[in-house]
């Protein structure tokens, strides 16, 4: 089990209003159900939405599935995030490439692709629902649940 403050998990997407806050909310709830005391957080590689709440469509999909995104406040990745978290997990390969480019070389082993680290494949990426409809946001919930269960199993090993 992860116990130290700097051993939490950070989920990262592009703007931190759709995928990563949804995954954060789902993983937090599923970890609590599993009895895991692991800190989780999310952020984006870009700064477009800093200070905003979750996309209303993501919040609605989360609420319909029993997850609360109402307190989310988007933030951008900070250089110290790599040292502060045991795992920094990207939603897609583009985010992963950005993270690897920003990460200090000695901490790159902490960076990975969320669904791959969680042992969920295919798919290996959480698709961005921003340009889509309700079904795309529901798909993020489904993938987040699968990923959360994979992380629960990984952390229990």
Q: Write down the pLDDT at residue 121.
A: 78
pLDDT grade for 57, boundaries at 50, 70 and 90: very high
Q: Is the pLDDT of residue 4 over 70?
A: no
Q: Write down the pLDDT at residue 131.
A: 96
Q: Write down the pLDDT at residue 50.
A: 97
Q: Is the pLDDT of residue 155 over 80?
A: yes
Q: Is the pLDDT of residue 3 over 50?
A: no
Whether 84 sits among the annotated catalytic residues: the reply is: no
145-to-41, 58, 84, 95 alpha-carbon distances in Å: 16, 14, 24, 20
Whether 128 sits among the annotated catalytic residues: the reply is: yes
pLDDT: which is higher, 129 or 4: 129
Task: Single out the catalytic residue among 13, 18, 43, 103.
Answer: 13
Beta strands in 52-106 (DSSP E): 85-90
**What is the DSSP code (8-state) at residue 131?**
T
* Whole-number average pLDDT of the chain: 94
Q: Is the pLDDT of residue 23 over 60?
A: yes
Q: Is the pLDDT of residue 149 over 80?
A: yes
Task: Single out the catalytic residue among 18, 19, 57, 98.
Answer: 19
Mean of pLDDT values over 85-101: 97
Whether 19 sits among the annotated catalytic residues: the reply is: yes
Instruction: Give the total number of structural domains in the chain.
Output: 1
Domain with 65 in it: 5-156
Q: Write down the pLDDT at residue 117.
A: 96
Question: What's 10's domain CATH number?
Answer: 3.40.50.2300
Task: Single out the catalytic residue among 55, 81, 92, 128.
Answer: 128
Q: Write down the pLDDT at residue 7.
A: 74
Contacts of 41 (CB under 8 A, 6+ apart): 8, 9, 10, 11, 24, 85
């Amino acid at each position: 089990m992860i116990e130290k403050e700097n051993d939490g998990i950070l989920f990262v997407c592009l703007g931190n209003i759709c995928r990563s806050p949804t995954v954060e909310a789902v993983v937090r709830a599923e970890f609590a159900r599993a009895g895991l005391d692991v800190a989780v957080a999310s952020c984006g590689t870009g700064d477009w939405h800093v200070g905003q709440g979750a996309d209303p469509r993501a919040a609605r999909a989360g609420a319909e599935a029993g997850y609360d995104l109402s307190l989310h406040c988007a933030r951008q990745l900070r250089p110290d995030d790599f040292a502060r978290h045991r795992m920094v997990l990207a939603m897609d390969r583009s985010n992963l490439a950005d993270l690897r480019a920003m990460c200090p070389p000695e901490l790159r082993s902490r960076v990975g692709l969320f669904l791959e680290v969680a042992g969920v494949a295919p798919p290996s990426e959480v698709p961005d629902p921003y340009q889509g409809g309700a079904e795309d946001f529901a798909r993020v919930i489904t993938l987040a649940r699968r990923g959360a269960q994979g992380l629960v199993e990984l952390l229990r090993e």
